Amino acid sequence: MKENSPVASFESTLKSRDTEELIDIYFYRPVGYAWALFFRKIGITPNQVTITAIFLGITAGVCFYFTHLWVNLLGIFLLIWANSYDSADGQLARMSGQTSALGRMLDGLCGDLWFVTIYYALAFRSLPEWGHWIWLLAYPAGYFHTRQAAMADYYRNIHLLFLKGKSGSELDRSNDLKIRYDKLSWRKEPFSKFFEKFYLMYTQGQEKWSPQLQQMLGILKNKYDDKAPEWFQTEFRTKSLPLMKYTNWLSFNVRSIVLFTAVLTNKPWIFYLLDWTVLNIMLVYMIWKHERICKGFIERL
């Protein structure tokens, strides 16, 4: 983008008001917007911002292994900083038109690497008190986390698809990804092939957990060539909107607040318990409700 091109407005860098949480709207997105303007001015790309966020988040996770208060506070600061960069990379991509499949994959990998580090750090921190029993709490919690985050991301992008169209959504279909993956060579493009494989498996997992949604999308493709009628888009958004709060609660903000509380009170098990209980209940309800909505539309379509 040229330096003298118009500066994108804050609103234009948001995915949508429907899918944003209050903490994001009033903190992370404004901070991310300021970072995005700065990075755009000095020629930093969205993918470079994402990679920096990955290292910041991993460093934050390592800090949570220690019990020293100042190290934990440093970890909290670094994770908040990393999340502001995670917001900035998408805002920068939208304001500069530098969106890419690699950027989408890196963005998804970013949070995963943060929390893999965090889950392991808290488990090793808990070993003196819990012994190896902590792994029976930590490993399932980590798995639950991946499912919660993946489905939250998927439902947000489905909502955006019928709100803004394909250009406003990052939704991908596994069939399309498989074609793209098969065209790549392990010998010539090992890096791209690896990330495409990871992203393909991620997307297949999302689709497997939403069979009614997949059937509904298939009907729309066959009957309307993926151009859903206006009545459908309006009604789907209306029914989907109340579920957006769950997609936000299953993502970063609620999880990070509980994480910070667990670290500062030296009770890491609280963080794992959140995944086992409250967030899993939200996940099951969100999937059940969304599948019911899709089933209703299948009957009408």
Position 2 in a domain: no
- Specify whether the CB–CB gap between 18 and 244 falls below 8 A: yes
Angle at 146 between CA 64 and CA 84, to 5 degrees: 55
In a domain, 188, yes or no: yes
Closest by CA position to 259, among listed 108, 81, 122, 57 = 122
Residue 189: how many CB atoms within 10 A of its CB? Answer: 13
Q: How does pLDDT run across 63-88, given as a tens digit for each residue?
A: 999 999 999 999 999 999 999 999 99
How far, in Å, CA of 301 to CA of 299, rounded?
A: 6
Cβ count near 6 (within 10 Å): 8
**Is the pLDDT at 49 greater than 70, yes or no?**
yes
Does the structure show a pLDDT above 70 at 4?
no
In a domain, 117, yes or no: yes
Q: Which residue has the tokens 């990955």?
A: 54
Q: Are 133 and 269 in contact (CB under 8 A)?
A: no
CA 30 to chain centroid: 18
DSSP-derived secondary structure letter, 188? T
155 is a domain residue: yes
* Per-residue confidence (pLDDT) for residue 268, from 0 to 100: 95
Total count of residues recorded for the chain: 301
- Residue 153's region, left for phi above 0, alpha for psi from -120 to 50, else beta, is alpha
How much is the CA Rg of the chain, to the nearest whole Å? 20
Using an 8 Å Cβ cutoff, are 264 and 72 in contact?
yes
Report the distance separating Cα 175 and Cα 94, nearest Å. Answer: 26
Write out pLDDT tens, residues 136-172.
Answer: 999 999 999 999 999 999 999 999 999 988 878 888 8
pLDDT, tens digit, for every residue of 213-271?
A: 999 999 999 999 878 899 999 999 999 999 999 999 999 999 999 999 999 999 999 99
Q: What angle do CA 66, 68, 70 make, to 5 degrees?
A: 115
Q: Is 296 inside a domain boundary?
A: yes
Q: What is the mean pLDDT of the chain?
A: 92
225 backbone φψ class: left, alpha, beta (φ>0; ψ -120 to 50): left
Quick one: average pLDDT of 289-293? 98
227 exposure class (CB count in 10 Å sphere: 0-12, 13-18, 19+):
exposed
Domain contains 3: no
pLDDT for 87-141, tens place per residue? 999 899 888 877 776 677 777 788 889 999 999 999 999 999 999 999 999 999 9
Which CATH number covers residue 203? 1.20.120.1760
Report whether 156 contacts 169 (CB < 8 A). Answer: no
Answer whether 35's CB lies under 8 Å from 49's CB. Answer: yes
User: What single string gives the DSSP state of each residue in 109-142?
Assistant: HHHHHHHHHHHHHHHHHHHHHHGGGHHHHHHHHH
Range of the domain at 260: 11-300
Interaxial angle between packed helices 253-264 and 69-96, expressed in degrees from 0 to 180 and rounded to the nearest 10: 170
In a domain, 58, yes or no: yes
- Return the percentage of the chain with pLDDT > 90, whole number: 75
On whether residue 4 sits in a domain, the answer given is no
- Total domains, the chain: 1
- pLDDT at position 191: 84
